Structures are given as structure tokens and as C-alpha cells.
Structure 1
Amino acid sequence: MKPIVVTGGTGSLGRRVVRELLDAGREVVVLSRRARPVADGSRFVSVDLRTGDGLDQALTGVDTVVHCASTLTGGDEQAARTLIDAAKRAGVTHLVYISIVGIDRIPLPYYRTKLAVERQLEASGLGYTILRATQFHELVQHIFSLLGRSPIVPVPTMRFQPVDTRDVAGRLAELALGEPAGRVPDFGGPEVRDAKSLARAYLTATGRRRLLVPVRVPGRIMAGFRRGENLVGDRFDGEWTFEQFLAEHATRRPSRFTDAGGSGG
């Protein structure tokens, strides 16, 4: 069997995809700009997708690529063009891409970039599979870790369907081991939660007490989130809840303030 390449294979999602593929008995090549520890049994290749240096060699003899590399600082569209061109030259037959639920309905700049990459794949002529997932637990934790620095925490009136990278990685690995399927059904977490309940869960897990204040943020972006465009709605694929994630990843700190938010949503 030919090796499977995972771009961004040292990231929070990518490294779990690597482990899933290794556990399935596949040889895995990890591509990343920065050398970091990778899963035992995988092979690391330093490649900058923006320039393509070293990419042709890394894709030699490869049929399948799982594209997890992404950055909020820009360059994803260029990286995708570079990867697609190299994949064509190498004869890659299947490119699997992780995207985000609601990118065609919420005008967030990063979402527009993800949608543009989807369009590139659709027009590439390559066999491809696109999986859109809801927000990762790590993102929700990061949001409330920043907001929780203040004694008064503004909580946007919106909902999340947070999903664990372990669940998403398992699905991506399953797709990578199969045939190209185009855009497959969206992948959602096990629960739809309002932001206030998630904030309270985070504060409880970290031993903080804060005043939670619901805030209705204006604008088209937040309107999309309030409509639930970031939710799968009728699918609850993931198994790991936000509380289970926090039990493993949250760091407790001394309590200083009172949560006056009550038990309502």
C-alpha cells in the first residue's frame, strides 16, 4: 500500500489523523513547515506549502493526501493551489480536505478563505472529499480563556455544536481510506449548547468564578451565528462532550469572583 500524506500533521487535528491512519496499518508522511515531534511510525518532511519547496518529492508515490494545514494569518488559498498543482504532477488520486460548517452562510473572512479552497478542489479535476465540521473544543476553550481574564465576561448570544478533534480525526481517516466522495455530510459535535452554558463549564473546570453578561453583538457575521448557521442541526456525530474535553485539558485556577449568571441559558 502506498503512503498517505497528511499536511499540517503536527497540529491538534493533524496529529490525531496521523495516529488513526497508523493504527489502521497505513504508512504516513507528515508535512509541516516546522519540525515537531510526530507519531511513532510516521515520517516527517519539512515542506512550506506556500512555496512548494520539497513538495514534489514528498508526494512521489502517493495516492492520497489529507489536507489539514491551515492558518488564520492568510495564505491558505495559495497553499491549496500549490498542493493541487503538485498533486496533479504526482498522480495523486484522492485529496481529503477538512472545512467548516457554515462557511457559505457566515461572512467571516477566514470562512471565505475556506470556501475558496473548497471551490479550488471542486474545479481541480482531482478526486476529492470535503468534510465540514463544527467548531473544535480547542477553539471554544480558547475563546473563553481570553474572555475569562476579565471579572466580567461578555458572552455572545449564540450557540455552538463543539466537536472533539478525536472524533473528527477518526472520520477523516475513514474518508482517506475510502474512495473520493465529493462533499460528504457535515460532522457535528454531540450537543448544541448556548455560549453561556459553555462559558460556565469552562469557568467551573478552571476553578474561576466570573460574572457572565449576555451580549448581543451586531453585524452580519454574528447574525449568522445567531441563526445557527454554524450548526449541523440534525446530526450529532461526535462522542466527546465539552466537559469531557475540559476534564483532560483545562487548568484550574483559584476562584476570585462570583458567577451571577444563574442557571438559565
Structure 2
Amino acid sequence: MTTILVTGGTGTLGRLVTERLRADGHEVRVLSRHSRPYAVDLREGGPGLDTALTGVDTVVHCASTPRGGDEKAAAQLIAAARKAGVRHLVYISIVGVDRVPFGYYRAKLAVERLVADSGLGWTVLRATQFHDLVLQVLEALARVPVLVLPAGVSDQPVEVAEVAGRLAELAAGAPAGRVADMAGPEVRTFESLARAYLKASGKRRRVVNLPLFGAAYRGFRAGGHLAPERAVGKGTFEEYLAARARGAR
């Protein structure tokens, strides 16, 4: 079995990727800013990153933040991976990064390009939004009596554990370039997802759909972040909410 480094290995996705890889018998190192012995800020790089990559065959790059710095972090990681002789770099991206002019998406697309031009063997998987993210957004919006939603926007959320399983599978294989997107089983209006959340949580909120402005909103409204032809995910949003209610998460 191979030695695999998972960046962002304590996060929502990275933790599950790590668990799956270890269950499959791989030696896995977890890299994050606070996870010892490989506590590294990727934006800074340095000797700690070199140490983490020593003897590593494959890197699964899950570390990411909408607060900025992804491109710098990826550049540091790639340079150190080349120096360490890493064979395979696997990157998780987002469906629609090349179609929706949203700041975070632009950064993810830029990292995809860095990965493809890295000189390393590489694989990129794009996935739709996780159920967890949709829930976080809805919980934030429901803090006030009126739940205001972006009018005309749909989503296609996917179960994060399914994406983790696919990433682990790709990490164990040969570099494959850009692989087929992975999307959830249903394209849903954001309002239907909101009402499912309200029903599951027992909250009462007035739901209002508000038209927004800007190129990013137009991109989301046009469905640039959806992949109905790649609805390969199995778990629905309602099943996710039910599992949370049972204490499964």
C-alpha cells in the first residue's frame, strides 16, 4: 500500500477521505494548520511541508478556504511535492468553476490549472455542493424571522461521504487528469431545500425569494454549478437531514 498525504485532513471532506484510505490499508498522513505531527500552513510552506511530503507517493489536496490564499497554498504544495518526488496529486474542485464568475470559484479554477501544469501526475474531480454546506447556509439564513432566498436558483447537493469514497478510489489509482464530475441525485430549487430544512428542524419561517444582481448570480441562476447529466450521488438532502436528527453525524 502507498503512503498518502491528505491536506485539510481534519476538515469535513478530508477527515472522511483519511478514514476511507486508512480502512483500505494505506498509510495516511494528515496535514492541517493544527494537526501534529504535520501542522503546516500551506500558504507559508517551509521545512514542515518538506518533512510531511518525505516518502509520500500520493497527495490528496482537500485544503481550501473561501477567505483567500488557495492559489498560494497550491503553489507551495506543488513545489514541495515536485522536490519530494510525489507521483500523483489529486485535487477536489467544484462543478461550475469555469462557468460561474464567483470569486471562490475563480480561485478553484486557478488551482486546477496549477495542478494540470505542475509536471506531476494529476487527477481533478469536480463535485457539486455538499449537503453540509447547504445546511450551513440555511441555518444562517434562518436566524431571522424571514428566510430570504436567491430567486430562481437551484442546487444539486451531494453526500460528502460519497465524494470522499470517490477521492479515495482515485488516490489509489493512476493519475487520470480531469475525471467525470460528481453531482447529487436531484436538482432542487433552493426553496424546496429550504422548506425541507424547516420541516426537519421544526422552525417556522416566512420564505421570500429575492432577485439579486451581478454576473455570479446570473451564473448560478443559469445552472452553471449543476451537472444533471452526472447525478451519480445516492443520498438525498432529506436523508441527510434525517441522519443528522438520528445523531448519525
Q: With the length of structure 2 as denominator, give the TM-score of the two structures.
A: 0.95
Corresponding residue for residue 163 of structure 2: 168
Equivalent position SS for 1:138: helix
Q: Structure 1 CA distance, aligned partners of 2:37 and 2:146?
A: 44
Q: Structure 1 CA distance, aligned partners of 2:146 and 2:171?
A: 45
Corresponding residue for residue 262 of structure 1: none
Corresponding residue for residue 10 of structure 2: 10
Q: Structure 2 CA distance, aligned partners of 1:44 and 1:209?
A: 46
Q: Structure 2 CA distance, aligned partners of 1:106 and 1:96?
A: 23
Instruction: Map 1:100-119; keep pairs closer than 5 Å.
Output: 100-119=94-113
Deviation track 1:4-53 (CA, whole Å, cap 9, x = no partner) reads: 10000000000000011011111100001013xxxxxxx85211111113
Deviation track 1:45-92 (CA, whole Å, cap 9, x = no partner) reads: 211111113011111111100000011111111100000000000000
Larger Cα-atom Rg: 1
Query: Which structure: greater helix fraction?
Result: 2
Corresponding residue for residue 76 of structure 2: 82
Q: Structure 1 CA distance, aligned partners of 2:127 and 2:90?
A: 13
Deviation track 1:205-240 (CA, whole Å, cap 9, x = no partner) reads: 111011111222121111111111110121111111
Q: Structure 2 CA distance, aligned partners of 1:64 and 1:185?
A: 20
Corresponding residue for residue 202 of structure 2: 207
Structure 2 letter corresponding to 1:49: L
Q: Aligned to 1:243, which of 238, 241, 244?
A: 238
C-alpha displacement of 1:248? 2.8
Q: Aligned to 1:187, which of 171, 182, 186?
A: 182
Q: Structure 1 CA distance, aligned partners of 2:204 and 2:3?
A: 49
Deviation track 1:81-127 (CA, whole Å, cap 9, x = no partner) reads: 00000000000010000000001111111111001101111111111
Contact map agreement 1:168 1:187 (CA 8 A) in 2 = yes
Gaps of 5+ in 1: 36-42, 252-265
Q: Structure 1 CA distance, aligned partners of 2:121 and 2:114?
A: 12
Corresponding residue for residue 66 of structure 1: 60
Contact map agreement 1:2 1:61 (CA 8 A) in 2 = no
1:158 aligns with 2:158: no
Q: Structure 1 CA distance, aligned partners of 2:140 and 2:29?
A: 35
Structure 2 letter corresponding to 1:200: R
Q: Structure 2 CA distance, aligned partners of 1:2 and 1:146?
A: 41
Contact map agreement 1:190 1:240 (CA 8 A) in 2 = yes
Q: Structure 2 CA distance, aligned partners of 1:230 and 1:44?
A: 37
Instruction: Map 1:30-41; keep pairs closer than 5 Å.
Output: 30-35=30-35
Corresponding residue for residue 25 of structure 2: 25
Structure 2 letter corresponding to 1:52: G
Structure 2 letter corresponding to 1:18: T
Corresponding residue for residue 39 of structure 2: 46
Runs of 4+ in 1 over 2 A off after TM superposition: 248-251
Equivalent position SS for 2:185: coil
Identity %, equivalent residues: 59
Q: With the length of structure 1 as denominator, give the TM-score of the two structures.
A: 0.89
Q: Structure 2 CA distance, aligned partners of 1:229 and 1:211?
A: 28
Q: Structure 1 CA distance, aligned partners of 2:209 and 2:228?
A: 23
1:219 aligns with 2:231: no
Count of residues in correspondence between the two structures: 244
Q: Structure 1 CA distance, aligned partners of 2:76 and 2:146?
A: 45
Larger CA deviation: 214-223 vs 107-116: 214-223
Q: Structure 2 CA distance, aligned partners of 1:73 and 1:218?
A: 22
